[in-house]
C-alpha cells in the first residue's frame, strides 16, 4: 500500500527533483571538475578547438568525429560554451531546483535510523543523569531495592516455569490418543471437550501458582505472561491437529464412498502461502469429468499436507515437532514453517544483550520516575478528604506519568517484538520475522490491534473470530474476540497490582465505539487528525489506567 501511494505521488509530481544517493559524484570526479573549471577560467571561459585535430571534444570525453554533420558540431560547440560559462563564475553559485524535503511523503528517502540512534542516546543520557543523582543522594549509582525483586525466590520461578512449559507436552500423547480412537475419545466426539477441560484446569493451576507461593509482582507477571503464551500455543496445536485428525478420518472413510460423508471439506484458516488455488486448478485439469468424490479426496489430501509440501499429517505428531513449535516465535501452529539457511550467533548475541538492556532501562524508569510519583500521590490521598482535591491529585499524577509511561511502552514494544521474538526466531531459524507492522501510523484502535502484535492478532483471528463465525453473526464474533483480549489484559493488570477493578477491561471495550466514531463521515479520511487522536489516547490511557489501579 505504501509503495502504491509512493508511486502515485511520484507520477503526480514528476517535476520535483528528489535526492538520489546513487548520483552523488565521487571525490575524484569533483576534483576533475574543479580542475576543468580553473582551466576554463584561465582560457577565458572557452575551450579552443585545434584546426589540426581530426576530432572535436565535447568536454565530457564524448568525442565528435571529423565527418560529423554541421548540426552535431553546432550542438557540441553550444554545450561547450554553456558549460564553460557556468564554470567561469567568480562567486560560487548554489544550484536550486524543485525538490522535496526528506520528511515529505513524496520523498524517496525512507531511512530514519538516525532517530532510532538518537532515541538510545537520549536513554543513555537519562541513565547517566540518574546515576549521578543517585551517587549524590545515596553514594551508589543504582538503587538496590528494585533489583532485589528479580532475585527473591528466583529458583522457585525457574523450576515452576520449566514445569509449566514441560506440562504442555501432554497434548502430544493426547492427540495421538484422539487420532487412534474411533469411539468416544475421538476428537470429533468427546476429544475436543476433554482437551478443553484439561486446558482449563491447566490454566487455573498455573495462574494461581504465583499467588500460592507469594512471589513478588515481577515474578508473578513473568509467569502469568508465559502461561498465557503457552496456553495459546497449546490451544492452537491441539485444535489444528484435532481438525487434521478429523480430516484424515474423513479421507480414510472415502475408501468406502457409499457409507462416507460427502459434504464439502471445510478448510481451517490457512497461511497466505497455502497453495489451495493451484492445487484446485490442478485437480480440475486432471479430472475433466468433475467427479465429486475425487475432488473431495483431493481437497482433504491437500488439507493434510503442509503449505510447502514436505510434511503430511500425522508425521508431525512427535515430541521433536512439538518442541520446535514451542520455541518458534508464533502462536499459530502449522505443519511446517519457512526457515533461514543458518543460525547467526552474533545476531542472537546482540538481540539477547538488547533484552537485558531494555529490562535494565525499564527498571530504572519505573523506580525513578513512576514508583515515587505513585507513592507520593497515595500518601497525599490519605490526608485529603475532599472529592475535588482528590481528583486534582489524581490528575496531577496522570500528568507526571505521561512521559515515563510513553518511554516504557516503547521499550516494551522493542523488547518483545524486536528482541525477544527476534532472538527465538534466530534460534529456530524462523524466517518469517513479520511480528509487527507500522502501528505507529494507526488511525484507529482496530488498525492498531491488527498491526501492533501480529502473532496475537493471528491467533485471535484464527481461533476465536474465525472459529466462532459458523455459530454467530460477524459482529458478535468480533465482539467475542475483543472480550477475550480484554479479559487477558485485565488478568495481567490484576497480577501487577493485585487488584481486579475492571478498568483495563472497560478501556479495551471502549475501543469499539471509538473506532465507530473515527470511521464516521465526520472524521473518515482525516489520517493526520486520527493518528494524533490515537497517540493522545494511547499515552493518556496508559497513565490513566496505572493511576486508577494503584490509587483508586
Q: How far apart are CA 444 and CA 336, in angstroms?
A: 34
Per the CB < 8 A criterion, the answer to whether 436 and 451 are in contact is: yes
What are the Cα distances from residue 274, in Å, to 246, 280, 334, 450? 20, 11, 11, 21
Contact yes or no for 62/77 (Cβ under 8 A): no
**Integer-rounded Cα radius of gyration of the chain:** 33
Strands 56-57 and 63-64, by their bridges, are antiparallel
Do 223 and 209 contact (CB within 8 A), yes or no? yes
Q: Dihedral sign for Cα 288, 293, 294, 297, please.
A: positive
Residue 63 pairs in a beta bridge with 57
In the DSSP assignment, the letter for residue 312 is: B
Please report how many Cα atoms fall inside a 13 Å half-sphere around the Cα of residue 36, on the Cβ side.
18
The DSSP letter of residue 169 is: G
CB burial of 16-35 (b: ≥16 within 10 Å; e: otherwise) equals: eeeeeeeeeeeeeeeeeeee
Please say if 235 is a catalytic residue. Answer: no
Beta-carbon count within 10 A of 112 CB: 11
Q: What is the C-alpha separation between 164 and 229, in angstroms, rounded? A: 11
Residues pairing with 56 in the sheet: 64
What burial letters (b/e) apply to 135-163, b meaning 16+ CB within 10 Å?
Answer: eeeeeeebbeeeeeeeeeeeeebeebbee
Which positions are catalytic?
489
Amino acid at each position: 500500500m505504501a509503495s502504491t501511494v509512493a508511486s502515485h505521488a511520484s507520477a503526480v509530481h514528476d517535476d520535483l527533483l528528489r535526492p538520489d544517493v546513487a548520483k552523488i559524484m565521487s571525490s575524484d570526479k569533483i576534483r576533475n571538475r574543479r580542475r576543468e573549471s580553473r582551466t576554463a577560467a584561465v582560457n577565458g571561459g572557452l575551450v579552443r578547438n585545434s584546426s589540426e585535430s581530426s576530432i572535436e571534444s565535447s568536454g565530457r570525453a564524448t568525442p565528435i568525429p571529423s565527418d560529423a554533420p554541421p548540426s552535431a558540431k553546432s550542438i557540441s560547440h553550444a554545450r561547450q560554451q554553456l558549460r564553460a560559462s557556468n564554470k567561469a563564475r567568480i562567486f560560487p553559485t548554489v544550484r536550486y531546483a524543485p525538490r522535496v524535503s526528506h520528511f515529505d511523503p513524496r520523498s524517496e528517502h525512507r531511512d530514519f535510523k538516525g532517530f532510532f540512534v538518537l532515541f538510545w542516546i537520549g536513554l543513555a543520557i537519562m541513565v547517566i543523569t540518574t546515576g549521578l543523582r543517585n551517587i549524590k543522594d545515596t553514594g551508589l549509582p543504582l538503587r538496590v531495592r528494585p533489583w532485589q525483586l528479580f532475585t527473591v525466590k528466583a529458583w522457585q520461578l525457574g523450576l515452576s516455569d520449566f514445569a509449566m512449559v514441560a506440562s504442555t507436552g501432554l497434548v502430544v500423547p493426547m492427540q495421538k490418543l484422539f487420532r487412534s480412537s474411533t469411539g468416544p475419545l475421538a476428537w470429533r466426539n468427546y476429544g475436543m471437550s476433554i482437551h478443553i477441560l484439561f486446558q482449563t484446569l491447566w490454566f487455573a493451576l498455573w495462574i494461581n501458582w504465583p499467588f500460592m507461593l507469594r512471589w513478588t509482582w515481577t515474578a508473578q507477571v513473568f509467569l502469568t505472561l508465559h502461561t498465557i503464551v503457552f496456553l495459546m500455543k497449546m490451544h492452537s496445536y491441539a485444535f489444528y491437529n484435532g481438525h487434521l485428525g478429523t480430516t484424515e478420518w474423513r479421507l480414510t472413510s472415502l475408501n468406502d464412498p457409499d457409507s462416507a460423508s460427502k459434504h464439502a471439506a471445510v478448510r481451517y484458516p490457512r497461511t497466505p502461502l497455502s497453495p489451495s488455488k493451484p492445487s484446485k486448478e490442478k485437480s480440475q485439469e486432471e479430472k475433466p469429468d468433475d467427479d465429486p468424490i475425487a475432488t473431495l479426496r483431493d481437497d482433504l489430501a491437500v488439507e493434510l499436507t503442509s503449505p510447502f509440501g514436505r510434511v503430511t499429517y500425522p508425521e508431525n505428531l512427535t515430541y521433536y515437532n512439538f518442541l520446535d513449535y514451542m520455541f518458534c516465535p508464533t502462536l499459530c501452529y502449522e505443519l511446517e514453517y519457512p526457515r533461514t539457511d543458518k543460525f547467526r550467533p552474533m545476531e542472537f548475541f546482540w538481540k539477547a544483550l538488547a533484552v537485558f538492556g531494555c529490562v535494565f532501562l525499564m527498571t530504572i524508569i519505573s523506580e525513578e520516575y513512576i514508583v515515587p510519583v505513585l507513592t507520593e500521590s497515595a500518601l497525599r490521598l490519605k490526608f485529603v478528604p475532599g472529592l475535588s482535591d482528590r481528583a486534582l491529585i489524581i490528575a496531577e499524577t496522570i500528568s507526571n506519568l505521561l512521559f515515563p509511561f510513553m518511554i516504557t511502552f516503547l521499550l516494551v514494544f522493542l523488547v518483545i517484538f524486536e528482541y525477544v521474538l527476534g532472538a527465538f526466531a534466530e534460534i529456530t531459524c524462523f524466517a518469517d520475522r513479520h511480528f509487527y507492522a507500522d502501528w505507529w501510523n494507526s488511525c484507529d484502535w482496530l488498525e492498531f490491534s491488527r498491526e501492533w502484535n501480529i502473532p496475537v492478532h493471528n491467533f485471535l483471528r484464527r481461533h476465536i473470530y474465525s472459529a466462532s463465525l459458523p455459530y454467530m453473526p460477524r459482529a458478535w464474533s468480533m465482539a467475542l474476540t475483543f472480550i477475550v483480549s480484554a479479559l487477558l489484559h485485565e488478568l495481567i493488570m490484576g497480577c501487577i497490582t493485585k487488584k481486579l477493578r475492571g478498568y483495563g477491561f472497560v478501556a479495551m471495550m471502549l475501543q469499539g465505539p471509538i473506532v465507530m466514531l473515527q470511521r464516521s463521515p465526520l472524521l473518515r479520511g482525516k489520517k493526520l487528525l486520527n493518528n494524533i487522536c490515537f497517540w493522545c489516547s494511547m499515552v493518556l490511557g496508559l497513565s490513566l489506567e496505572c493511576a486508577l489501579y494503584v490509587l483508586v
